Amino acid sequence: MQTVKAALVAAIAIVALVVSLLPGLAEENRSLALTISLDGAIGPASASYVKDALAKAAERRADIVILRLNTPGGLTTSMREIISDVLASPVPVIGYVAPSGAHAASAGTYILYATHIAAMAPGTNIGAATPVQIGGPIPGLPGGTPDKEGKDSKDSDRQHEPKDAMTAKVTNDAVALIRSLAELRGHNADWAEKAVREAATLSANGALHEHVIDLIARDPVELRAKVDGRVVEVASGKTQRLATKDAVVEIIDPGWISRFLAVITDPNVAFILLMVGVYGLIFEFMSPGTVAPGVVGTICLLLGLYALNLLPISYAGLALMLVGIALLAFEAFNPTVVIGLGGVIAFVLGAVMLFRVEAPGYRLSWWLIAIVTATFIGFVLVVLGSLRRARSGPVRVGAQAMRGLSAKVLDWSENEGHVFTHGERWQARGTETFKPGEVVEVANIIDLTLVVRRQSRPAKEIHHDA
């Protein structure tokens, strides 16, 4: 009887253990969907974020990665890094333009074309993929100019072909990239080229009708349900059937490195860091030993240069800025005004030329340039005022500064003796005889010997300490 009871208790314990483990086992068997969100301009921080997230997805053997897009575009270099990572990912990447009201413009269009499955939420749009990396909207691109009958003509298209060699080169390269992505994913390559050459755009319904995207989904739940069961080809060349309907969803947030890059790679922040660094070093050189300006300046300067290294800049503009700053630093030690004004002009021209992109989110603020320029002009004006006051004020050093000072006679013998003035003991001589303690006036200084006389007017300075 005891044996039966013990066996029954053991069976109940085993059943309870199995029941408790069932939810965990079911959870482990469910597919994993990781979500990445790209909001705002595409830059070095975005590329770092996507690379780390895709690496984590591969490490955790996730079933899919949902790349949510809401971007006006960004830097071509960062866009190409993201595309390369998506194409090399062993985990299927689903591009999803969301929420309603979002858009995937410019660089976002290329990235969406690179994903294994492209989706959009209602009320979103895609397109306007004309490259602007060369400093603004490309002139001369065909815009579908209508002819006299109101239809686009081939002749008008030929008339609007890019005339500038560099413009044509950048445009054709962009067209080749987006067409290759469209052909790889089986999407509309002709409209992709139109988005580059004519900055064409489409709504979500239009994109689905033109076979630019694969589906429309109102929310991530509907998206996972619609892609469930689809077959995609991953980087290894193997096909993979998606099982995402009941997937466990996890959101991958940017790491601290990506967040840090997002801050310092803002052109305005990089510009400010550069200026703080330069000013800190100038103040340290003007007042050696203060330490703090030198330390802060060095750190900010290195951060600013690191940020500039990640951004597409004009080295001619950077060189002009550095020349301008060097001239202003020289002005601080050797005031001439002309050098200072030359430094301001060189700095402004360099700042205007510094960033050779006009991508959304990567423009240098004109207000910031104006404020920094006004600061430099104020610096030159301060130096000019100090120079004027120094020239119009009384002489502080040399023989001329000694003339007219009061001196106290320490000892005197015939026509020679010693006097105390300006905090120092001097050898003196004169044509008269003086008594110790008598106050005289300095008439001249010859070979470190003062020529003194009796006071004829109120003294400039009287010293009573011997």
pLDDT of res. 154: 42
Confidence of residue 458 (pLDDT cuts 50, 70, 90): low
Backbone angles phi, psi at 436, to 5 degrees: -55, 135
Could you read off the pLDDT of 253-269 as tens digits, one per residue?
Answer: 888 888 888 888 888 88
pLDDT of res. 12: 64
Lowest mean pLDDT among 89-98, 217-226, 284-293: 284-293
Confidence of residue 409 (pLDDT cuts 50, 70, 90): confident
Stretch 123-131: mean pLDDT, rounded?
A: 89
pLDDT of res. 357: 60
pLDDT of res. 188: 93
pLDDT of res. 213: 94
- The architecture CATH gives domain 31-258: Alpha-Beta Complex (3.90)
pLDDT of res. 190: 94
Confidence of residue 21 (pLDDT cuts 50, 70, 90): very low
pLDDT of res. 148: 37
Which SS3 state, helix, strand or coil, does residue 395 take?
A: coil
pLDDT of res. 24: 44
CB 300 within 8 A of CB 283: no
pLDDT of res. 98: 93
C-alpha–C-alpha distance, residues 143 and 451, integer Å: 90
Domain 398-454 grouped into CATH 3.40.50.300: no
Q: Is the pLDDT of residue 97 over 90?
A: yes
Provide the mean pLDDT of the chain.
79
Confidence of residue 415 (pLDDT cuts 50, 70, 90): confident
Percent of the chain with pLDDT over 90: 27
Confidence of residue 383 (pLDDT cuts 50, 70, 90): low
C-alpha–C-alpha distance, residues 220 and 104, integer Å: 17
Confidence of residue 76 (pLDDT cuts 50, 70, 90): confident
Where in the sequence of the chain do the CATH 2.40.50.140 domains occur?
A: 398-454
| Position with higher pLDDT, 139 vs 188 | 188
Of the ranges 32-46, 113-127, 347-361, 414-428, the best mean pLDDT one = 113-127
Confidence of residue 206 (pLDDT cuts 50, 70, 90): very high
Could you read off the pLDDT of 337-368 as tens digits, one per residue?
Answer: 678 788 888 888 888 888 766 566 667 778 88
pTM for the full predicted model = 0.67
CB atoms within 10 A of CB 128: 20
Lowest mean pLDDT among 49-58, 84-93, 119-128, 271-280: 271-280
Q: How buried is 126 (Cβ within 10 angstroms: 0-12 exposed, 13-18 middle, 19+ buried)?
A: buried
Could you read off the pLDDT of 153-167 as tens digits, one per residue?
Answer: 444 444 445 456 777
pLDDT of res. 377: 76
Confidence of residue 7 (pLDDT cuts 50, 70, 90): low
| Position with higher pLDDT, 54 vs 274 | 54
Where in the sequence of the chain do the CATH 3.90.226.10 domains occur?
A: 31-258
Note the helical H segments in 240-365: 256-264, 267-286, 292-310, 315-333, 338-353
Stretch 169-198: mean pLDDT, rounded?
A: 92
DSSP 32-101: EEEEEEEES-B-HHHHHHHHHHHHHHHHTT-SEEEEEEEB--B-HHHHHHHHHHHHH-SS-EEEEE-STT
State the number of CA atoms in the 13 A half-sphere of 174 facing the CB: 32
